Amino acid sequence: MAKIICIANQKGGVGKTTTTVNLAAGLAKLGQRVLLVDLDPQGNATMGSGIDKREVELSVYDVLLESATVQEAVVKAESCGYGVLSANRELAGAEVELVQLAHRDQRLRSALALVDADYDFVLIDCPPSLSMLTLNGLCSAHGVIVPMQCEYFALEGLTDLVNTIKQVHANLNKDLKIMGLLRVMFDPRITLQVQVSDQLKAHFGNKVFDTVIPRNVRLAEAPSYGLPGVVFDPSAKGSQAYVDFARELVQRAPSL
Ligand code: ADP
Ligand code: MG
């Protein structure tokens, strides 16, 4: 059975997409069968996996509107070792189109159920909003990984996300929980970041993953080559951290 995980945080630019593509590549390296679902109309995870979003014939949009199955729409990211359900601008329209449809928040869940035996992990890259697209992600998933920067305002956004997750848990998907907070873009030379990191650990305990992802320019450069950092430069500190994180996730997954 696939472990289905949303990478979510309604703030933009906090490292969701970077986490999704690098975790996918890291898990693939460890021999796990991985499907990446790009739920952001920006299509950054699609492009960052080496798939041209303007050229894909079937995307997650077609799956949400039930004009294609996951199996039909999935594209193999050849250099990365995982499958991608891609996204492009068309997906922005799905938001409006879904409103009129029955079970509009359960569409992705139903579609993923058909490929449950084909993957060990399904990673869903969510858009930076608590929208119908994100709701489809949350209704499909066993849990949420929240990437966050160790900055003063990081915790503010967390309250809204936690409340949404609680509501989805209560009304739509009783499996859903927060699997953990992942500290990303971490710079140990910045005292405030170390303090916030310590506070997170003190407050949330084992809901904070042990692995910390450092700020590392190679992770930021990799997307322009259409690759996750883990594939583009495996020896970079950031890439190694994501593979460590993949290992931590595999170890902890049964209890998450
Ligand atoms: P989101 O998907 O939450 O909007 P992204 O993953 O696109 O965030 O990251 C935002 C920006 O930060 C991107 O330019 C990305 O390359 C960069 N970035 C993400 N993680 C790191 C990191 N660990 N070190 C350096 N740059 C990073
Ligand atoms: Mg993104």
Q: Is the CB of 149 under 6 A from ligand 1?
A: no
What CA–CA distance (Å, rounded) separates 38 from 109?
14
Q: Is the CB of 219 under 6 A from ligand 1?
A: yes
Integer angstrom CA distances of residue 127 from 41, 53, 187, 191: 7, 16, 25, 30
What is the CATH topology of the domain spanning 3-255? Rossmann fold (3.40.50)
Both tokens assigned to 35: 């499907």
Instruction: List the 75-77 sheet strands across, edge first.
Output: 75-77, 82-85, 34-38, 121-125, 3-7, 143-149, 177-186, 208-214
On the question of pLDDT at 99 being above 90, the answer is no
Contact status, residue 59 vs residue 91, Cβ threshold 8 Å: yes
The ligand whose atoms approach the alpha carbon of 19 most closely is: 1
Instruction: Give the per-residue pLDDT at 160.
Output: 85
Average pLDDT taken over every residue of the chain: 95
Give the distance (Å) from ligand 2 centre to CA of residue 16: 5
Confidence of residue 222 (pLDDT cuts 50, 70, 90): very high
What would the pLDDT profile of 18-75 be if each residue is shown by its tens digit? 999 999 999 999 999 999 999 999 999 999 999 999 999 999 999 999 999 999 999 9
> What's the chain's length in residues?
256
- The atom of ligand 1 lying closest to the CA of 185 is 23
- Domain map of the chain by residue range? 3-255
Q: What are the pLDDT digits (tens) for 115-170?
A: 999 999 999 999 998 889 999 999 999 999 999 999 987 777 788 889 999 999 99
Ligand 2 center from residue 141 Cα (angstroms): 18
> Quick check: 73 and 61 in contact, CB under 8 A?
no
